[in-house]
Amino acid sequence: MRDTRETVARRYGEHLTDTDLLALSGDRPDQVPALRRHPALVLDLLDRPAVADAVLRADRDRGGRFRHVSPFLVLAAAVHRTAGALVGRTHVPDRTAPRSRVPIFDGPVLAAFAADPAHRLFLAELLASYARLASGVVWRRDPTGWRRQRWDELDLPRLAELIVALPEDQRPGGYRRLGDGALFLAGVFPEYAERTFAGAGTARLATLAGPREGPVTELLEELAGRAYARAGAAVPAGVVESPHAARRVLALVADHHLHRGEAGGPPVAGR
């Protein structure tokens, strides 16, 4: 477990800028080199509610300027704060419909999932990766000739088509991204997902998720699990085995830290 924590800590260190470390240290420049040398200290700091809350409040620095911290730090703070709040909970609310939550008595299960450092890193990286959406154009040949086809990484059926066209050695990365998109939509923007995959879209999603029926959120969880199973070691085993738990924690992060402005959908590709 210690080796895992050290490995995770090094990954945090790769993501964090010196400005991030300065924010974590409480504006103490002399502490930044120590945090850079010993990134496990970063995990300890983020586990402190006061430190995570200071990051999430986006306080101004001593010069009265807004602090320019990275999306990864903000989202990691949200994940750590959410994980800490799960400790000791017997039940946790889950979404059943827009603006509707019911208590589910699986608090200890979610707390155990969120306590794993690798799971926290995975969720923070997933969220930060969608701070800006990737999109583009590909040319596909069909019986009528070449045609131009736009895509973005949250168009999951289109993304799945592109993955199949990739060389075999590049497909695990594509499946990782397909799983990420499914979890992101299910956990962070479920209403958008339900609008997007309503009607005929549900059938397209079910084709990707496998031979089952159910609500869009459940189909997205199933799709995430199937995609992650083909993504290799880049995805923690606990996420592959329980995309449902990952989705639940993402939903809590979104409800408590991301949707205060009632955003209606994910960021626009290319912005």
- In this structure, of 55-59, 80-84, 154-158, the range with the lowest mean pLDDT score is 55-59
The pLDDT assigned to 164 comes to 87
The pLDDT assigned to 58 comes to 66
| Separation of alpha carbons 154 and 160, rounded Å | 10
179 contacts 160 by C-beta, under 8 angstroms = no
The pLDDT assigned to 271 comes to 44
| Separation of alpha carbons 139 and 129, rounded Å | 25
The pLDDT assigned to 137 comes to 74
Q: Find where tokens 């999109």 sit.
A: 135
How confident is the prediction for the chain on average, in pLDDT? 88
Mean pLDDT value of segment 60-84:
82
Q: How many residues does the chain have?
A: 271
Q: What is the pTM of this model?
A: 0.88
Nearest alpha-carbon partner for 209 in 179, 188, 251, 237: 179
Q: Does pLDDT of 263 surpass 60? A: no
| Separation of alpha carbons 187 and 253, rounded Å | 9
CA distances from 98 to 7, 77, 125 (A): 39, 26, 26
Percent of the chain with pLDDT strictly greater than 90: 65
> How confident is residue 61, by pLDDT bands cut at 50, 70 and 90?
low
Q: Does pLDDT of 120 surpass 60? A: yes
Q: Does pLDDT of 72 surpass 90? A: yes
Q: What is the DSSP string of 188-203?
A: H-HHHHHHHTSTHHHH
Mean pLDDT value of segment 89-117:
93
* Strand partners of residue 140: 147
Mean pLDDT value of segment 94-115:
92
Q: Tally the C-alpha atoms within 13 A of residue 30's C-alpha that lie toward its C-beta.
A: 0
The pLDDT assigned to 116 comes to 97
The pLDDT assigned to 134 comes to 75
> How confident is residue 62, by pLDDT bands cut at 50, 70 and 90?
low
| Separation of alpha carbons 183 and 197, rounded Å | 14
Mean pLDDT value of segment 256-261:
81
> How confident is residue 270, by pLDDT bands cut at 50, 70 and 90?
very low
220 contacts 186 by C-beta, under 8 angstroms = yes
For the segment 24-60, what is each residue's pLDDT rounded down to a tens digit?
999 899 999 999 999 999 999 999 999 999 999 865 5
CA distances from 149 to 4, 92, 250 (A): 42, 42, 31
The pLDDT assigned to 200 comes to 66
> How confident is residue 267, by pLDDT bands cut at 50, 70 and 90?
low
Which residue has better confidence, 68 or 28?
Answer: 28
The pLDDT assigned to 261 comes to 54
For the segment 217-236, what is each residue's pLDDT rounded down to a tens digit?
999 999 999 999 999 999 99
Q: 84: how many CB neighbours lie within 10 A of its CB?
A: 17
